[in-house]
């Protein structure tokens, strides 16, 4: 998405952070009528591109005699942010009972990436025939929804007058929460800490996923058991009760819920037995633990900017030894990095207009060094149309600039940070900024860069650095705070780790998708971390 200033008063990727299931609902409108005596009987087939080939994933039911079907069967797809997942939706008119698609009349198809669908939440597009022409007035509507219960429950519990179990002192009580398992037996979900030497314990508040506690069913019975802790593991049973989350939710800060803790054996033996103490639910809150996909489906746009290193250490771009030399295949390591990251990010930006900036070069006509210039030479409008536009502007600018130095990162980081700072005034999770810096070597303004990164860590912003060539990238590893917290030269700590560094040389002989996975692996987590830290829900989120 384009944005303009308004005046202001290494190696293989580890865990995949953003893997979840997305449900796709399909509707057709004004489909072609292929039947002579009645209307078409359409069904939809979903394909995914795997290693360059279309592989069928699933089919809907057949909608009999209907040119405007709303299919009940949903497609469920695993979503991976850091991959380009190409999908094709093909509609057919069922003519026979055969499962072979060539036996049925083709009604049109539509192809796009899963990223395109989730970034829009709902899209309606023209169906195309095999020759690329519209299939009459036929349209397809695809709506996406994340398949996960992201609710969490936070409970604050206490006890009063619990049974004394220790001979020479009071009890050391703790609670266990159980839910019914599929086998009918009680399954442990959560255990509180032990509170020593008391019959009136106050446990620390704790948070668990609602799915873990009651499978997301507020009315399902759960069992709470109170024990007296013994160091030998032979904990003494104090009492228990059964309840439901719906009942626990009756507890409010002003009016706690009190539940009797019962020991069934004592209850049978003693006629005047009341209870073995009271368990108090001081408060019970259900909230949503939003995921990256929640923010994207809520309308958050990823704002992408590229910063390119044009310092003299890259070599003369006319010579094959230069890192900026464009080979006969029309590429180099700079272009490979732009494509790898850009082709994923562009799906999450509605107008696909990306600022592309250069640094470390002398510019015409006066040949002054610039560390922050538009590579299309239009400072008022540095935007390029899509990744293709960045590539064209990059290739066009190479003959017109002189590579120079030094390698200063801070001006470009501060440039993007100014826009990210403006986004914080909107008080919604609507924009997150991503700066891709591609460089060949050692940073000259390390102190200023560290300071810029620490300041940017407070903003909706992440920085991806791809190191090209064979230089020593130790300083880049230092900025990537995976192993230690980054400090500014003033001693200020980064609020969070926002830098991901990847050396391109580790990915020269692997599929190009591998670079994108490594570079973007941490981004979903960084987006969620920022918005949670600011207590910002997705724009269109539902209450818990």
Angle at Cα 338 formed by Cα 335 and Cα 341, nearest 5°? 145
User: Any idea which of 227-231, 262-266, 416-420 has the lowest mean pLDDT?
Assistant: 227-231
Local confidence band at 3 (pLDDT 50, 70, 90 cut-offs): very low
Q: What are 434-449's pLDDT values in tens digits?
A: 999 999 988 999 999 9
Exposure letters 17-53 (e unless 16+ CB within 10 A, then b)? bbebebebbbbbeebbebeeeebbbbbbbbbbeeeee
| Of residues 167, 163, 225, 174, the one with CA closest to residue 196 | 174
* CATH hierarchy code of domain 300-511: 3.40.50.410
Crossing angle of helices 333-345 and 386-397, rounded to 10°: 160
Local confidence band at 228 (pLDDT 50, 70, 90 cut-offs): very high
Angle at Cα 221 formed by Cα 216 and Cα 224, nearest 5°? 105
Same fold, 20-147 and 151-288: yes
Instruction: Say whether pLDDT at 516 is over 80.
Output: yes
**Residue 19: what pLDDT?**
57
Decide: residue 158, CB within 10 A, 0-12 exposed, 13-18 middle, 19+ buried: middle
**Residue 95: what pLDDT?**
85
Q: What are 356-367's pLDDT values in tens digits?
A: 999 999 999 999
Local confidence band at 306 (pLDDT 50, 70, 90 cut-offs): very high
**Residue 478: what pLDDT?**
77
Instruction: Say whether pLDDT at 11 is over 50.
Output: no
Which two three-digit tokens encode residue 324?
């900026």
**Residue 113: what pLDDT?**
97
Instruction: Say whether pLDDT at 391 is over 90.
Output: yes
Residue 88: CB atoms within 10 A of its CB come to 17
Local confidence band at 408 (pLDDT 50, 70, 90 cut-offs): very high
Helical segments of 90-172, H only = 114-120
Domain range 151-288, its CATH number among 3.40.1350.10, 2.40.30.40, 2.60.40.150, 1.20.58.220 = 2.60.40.150
Instruction: Say whether pLDDT at 7 is over 50.
Output: no
Radius of gyration of the chain (CA): 30
In whole angstroms, give the CA distance from residue 398 to residue 309.
12
- Round the average pLDDT of the chain to a whole number and report it: 91
Class of domain 20-147: mainly beta
**Residue 5: what pLDDT?**
35
User: Any idea which of 23-32, 94-103, 385-394, 469-478 has the lowest mean pLDDT?
Assistant: 469-478
Decide: residue 501, CB within 10 A, 0-12 exposed, 13-18 middle, 19+ buried: buried
Q: Are 154 and 140 in contact (CB under 8 A)?
A: no
Q: Are 92 and 107 in contact (CB under 8 A)?
A: yes
**Residue 89: what pLDDT?**
98
Place of tokens 């940017």: 456
In whole angstroms, give the CA distance from residue 55 to residue 214.
37
In whole angstroms, give the CA distance from residue 185 to residue 178.
9
- Percent of residues, the chain, with pLDDT higher than 90: 76
**Residue 6: what pLDDT?**
33
Among left, alpha and beta (phi > 0; psi -120 to 50; other), residue 199 is alpha
**Residue 99: what pLDDT?**
86
Domain ranges of the chain: 20-147, 151-288, 300-511
Which two three-digit tokens encode residue 296?
């994207």
Q: Are 291 and 527 in contact (CB under 8 A)?
A: no
Local confidence band at 543 (pLDDT 50, 70, 90 cut-offs): low
Which two three-digit tokens encode residue 169?
């002192």
Local confidence band at 427 (pLDDT 50, 70, 90 cut-offs): confident
7: CB partners within 8 A, 6+ apart = none
* Helix, strand or coil, per DSSP, at residue 33: coil
Which two three-digit tokens encode residue 279?
């368990």
Instruction: Say whether pLDDT at 102 is over 70.
Output: yes
Which one-letter DSSP state was computed for residue 360? S
Instruction: Say whether pLDDT at 98 is over 90.
Output: no
**Residue 203: what pLDDT?**
98
User: Any idea which of 13-22, 198-207, 263-272, 332-341 has the lowest mean pLDDT?
Assistant: 13-22
- Percent of residues, the chain, with pLDDT higher than 70: 95
Instruction: Say whether pLDDT at 351 is over 60.
Output: yes
* Helix, strand or coil, per DSSP, at residue 227: strand
Which two three-digit tokens encode residue 441?
């070597």
In whole angstroms, give the CA distance from residue 6 to residue 403.
32
332: CB partners within 8 A, 6+ apart = 323, 324, 325, 326
Average pLDDT for residues 450-463, to the nearest whole number? Answer: 96
**Residue 20: what pLDDT?**
81
């Amino acid at each position: 998405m384009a944005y303009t200033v308004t005046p202001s008063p290494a190696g293989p990727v580890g865990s995949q952070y953003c893997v979840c299931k997305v449900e796709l609902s399909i509707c057709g409108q004004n489909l072609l009528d292929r039947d002579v005596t009645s209307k078409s009987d359409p069904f939809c087939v979903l394909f995914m591109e795997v290693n360059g080939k279309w592989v069928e994933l699933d089919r809907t039911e057949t909608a009999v005699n209907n040119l405007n079907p709303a299919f009940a069967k949903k497609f469920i797809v695993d979503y991976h942010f850091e991959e380009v997942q190409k999908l094709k939706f093909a509609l057919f008119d069922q003519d026979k009972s055969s499962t072979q698609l060539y036996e049925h009349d083709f009604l049109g198809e539509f192809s796009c990436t899963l990223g395109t669908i989730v970034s829009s939440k709902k899209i309606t597009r023209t169906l195309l025939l095999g020759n690329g022409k519209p299939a009459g007035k036929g349209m397809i509507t695809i709506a996406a929804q994340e398949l996960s219960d992201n609710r969490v429950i936070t409970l604050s519990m206490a006890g009063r007058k619990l049974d004394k179990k220790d001979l020479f002192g009071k009890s050391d009580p703790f609670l266990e929460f159980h839910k019914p398992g599929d086998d009918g037996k009680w399954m442990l979900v959560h255990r509180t800490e032990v509170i020593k030497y008391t019959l009136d314990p106050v446990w620390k508040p704790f948070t668990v996923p609602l799915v873990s506690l009651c499978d997301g069913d507020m009315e399902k019975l759960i069992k709470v058991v109170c024990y007296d802790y013994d160091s030998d593991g032979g904990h003494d049973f104090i009492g228990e009760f059964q309840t439901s989350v719906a009942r626990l939710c009756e507890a409010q800060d002003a009016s706690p819920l009190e539940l009797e803790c019962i020991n069934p054996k004592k209850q049978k033996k003693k006629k005047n037995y009341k209870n073995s103490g009271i368990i108090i639910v001081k408060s019970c809150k259900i909230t949503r633990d939003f995921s990256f996909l929640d923010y994207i489906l809520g309308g958050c746009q990823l704002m992408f900017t590229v910063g390119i290193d044009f310092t003299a250490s890259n070599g003369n771009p006319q010579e094959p030894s230069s890192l900026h030399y464009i080979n006969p295949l029309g590429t180099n390591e700079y272009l490979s990095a732009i494509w790898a990251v850009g082709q994923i990010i562009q799906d999450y930006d509605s107008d696909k207009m990306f600022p592309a900036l250069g640094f470390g070069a002398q510019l015409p006509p006066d040949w002054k060094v610039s560390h922050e210039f538009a590579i299309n030479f239009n400072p008022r409008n540095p935007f390029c149309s899509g990744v293709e536009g960045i590539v064209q502007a990059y290739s066009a600018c190479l003959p017109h600039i002189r590579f120079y130095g030094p390698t200063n990162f801070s001006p470009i980081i501060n440039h993007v940070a100014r826009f990210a700072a403006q986004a914080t005034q909107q008080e919604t999770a609507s924009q997150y900024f991503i700066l891709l810096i591609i460089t060949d070597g050692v940073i000259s303004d390390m102190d200023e860069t560290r300071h810029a990164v620490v300041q940017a860590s407070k903003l909706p912003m992440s920085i991806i650095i791809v190191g090209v060539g064979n230089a020593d990238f130790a300083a880049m590893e230092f900025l990537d705070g995976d192993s230690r917290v980054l400090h500014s030269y003033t001693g200020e700590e980064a609020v969070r780790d926002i830098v991901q560094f990847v050396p391109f040389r580790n990915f020269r002989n692997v599929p190009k998708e591998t670079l994108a996975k490594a570079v973007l692996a941490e981004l979903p987590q960084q987006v969620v971390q920022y918005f949670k830290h600011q207590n910002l829900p997705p724009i269109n989120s539902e209450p818990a």
